[in-house]
Amino acid sequence: MSDFDLGDGFRKAFLASVGAVATVSEKSQQVIDDFVKKGELTVEQGKAINEELKRKARETVSDSNDAALRARMESMTPEERAEYAKKVADMAADINAQAVEPDSVEDADNKE
């Protein structure tokens, strides 16, 4: 047990949840397509069902990721949690800044 890397476990749980969403999405689309071909569903009904299944799968993955993140943070010291929170806040600020930059460039181009 001393060789257990919590980061590796978190990464594996995340990857497994992403794989699960992809699999559910693919399989649900196949089933819906089969029903549409047989005339048991209209295309619009099939699309609506598929979107609902995708939404539920994303929620399940989100819940799973939240639980894994909570478990990881519970194993940290208060100092480690504070450092981790700062790192996440810095990442969010960088991502937010990057998201704003393309709009700023377009706005500058439109003013000319």
- pTM comes to 0.42
Strand, helix or coil for residue 5: coil
Is 100 a residue whose pLDDT tops 50?
yes
Distances (CA, A) of 90 to 32, 34, 41: 42, 47, 48
Residue entry with tokens 């099939």: 46
**Rounded mean pLDDT, 58-70:** 82
- pLDDT digit string, tens, across residues 24-55: 777 777 877 777 777 767 778 878 888 888 88
